[in-house]
Amino acid sequence: MDSREKALETVVASVGDLPALPSVVAEVMQITNDPDATILQICECIQRDPALAVKILKVSNSPYYGMRQHVATLKLALVVLGVRQVRNIVLGVTVFENLSDHAQGQNWLRALWSHSVLVATLSKKLGAALALGLQGEDFVVGLLHDVGKVLLYKGLGTAYDRIIEASGSGHSDELCAIEHESLGFDHADVVAALATHWDLPVSLGDALWRHHALADQRPLAAAEDPRLAGLVRIANLAAHDDFSSGDAAECASCMEQEAWEAVASPKAPEDVAARFEFLSGFRNELTETPELSFD
């Protein structure tokens, strides 16, 4: 039994059986894994859930996704974005919404959607700016990176509320430490176990698991895709940083040397001050953007 299988067993023993992959996502994943599947077949599959088709177009055309042209139909979205990007939008949006439905009314869970969209968007924009060649994996990992918190709340209820309260903010490495102390694992272990349970690509599950460094216990050099894992770690830190301070040294996203080495490209800023300018530009841009909502 490998480490991921052990982690899966540990999580299930503590929070109960993990949910099945939503049926529409399972069907989309299956058909898009078939190299002989046509765009028409994929369209027909998705359009059996009209609400999902609308959400795909809403995400595709939003400032959060950074499309250069408007797409009015699902078929055009598949042509312009590509099958893999559309599949990743389906996975991210459907999974997050399905797992969050039961948690309405929880203040920290309501804020989780805004934070997750911000991390997904920063990941997407940074990946494009650094020319990393990702095809929506940046967006979906950013959107799902904290879903483990939702599953922990689902399994533990008010006991997990107390863990969140004890951490103060609910998003720092301190939360991971308290989770480990209380449960023996953290929310990143949970979402990685979920990715294993659903047989998602290893690179996605691995990046989800490594979005916190945990005192160098999750080295990016050992990641299945160090670029993806490093990108999401930077985006998660940048979503929490206060760039209005004007001090790069106070921004964890600028100081995370391991992650910047993982995403190294000719377009990546090398010094802390340049990273601050690079990241603050994206944060300022997104501050003016209306929140993504499917209401």
Q: What is the pLDDT of residues 28-69, one digit of tens each?
A: 999 998 888 899 999 999 998 988 899 899 888 887 777 777
Query: Tell me, what's the pLDDT at 172?
Result: 72
CA 158 – CA 156 distance, rounded (Å): 6
- The closest alpha carbon to 279, from 114, 256, 221, belongs to 256
% of residues, the chain, pLDDT over 90: 41
pTM: 0.89
Give CA–CA dist 190/152, Å, rounded.
8
| pLDDT per residue as tens digits for the range 169-208 | 656 778 888 998 988 889 999 999 899 888 899 999 999 9
- Predicted confidence band at 111 (pLDDT cuts at 50, 70, 90)? confident
CA proximity to 109, closest of 160, 183, 56, 65? 160
What is the topology classification, in CATH, of domain 3-20+104-287?
Hypothetical protein af1432 (1.10.3210)
Question: Which one is predicted more confidently, 291 or 239?
Answer: 239
Q: Which residues contact 261 (CB under 8 A, 6 or more apart)?
A: 220, 230
Long-range contacts of 55-63 (CB under 8 A, 24+ apart): 55/89, 55/93, 55/294, 56/86, 56/89, 56/90, 56/93, 58/292, 58/294, 59/89, 59/93, 59/292, 60/86, 60/89, 62/292, 63/286, 63/289
8 and 193 in contact (C-beta within 8 Å)? yes
Which carries the bigger pLDDT value, residue 99 or residue 43? Answer: 43
Tell me the residue type at 273: A
Mean pLDDT of the chain: 86
Domain residue extents for the chain = 3-20+104-287
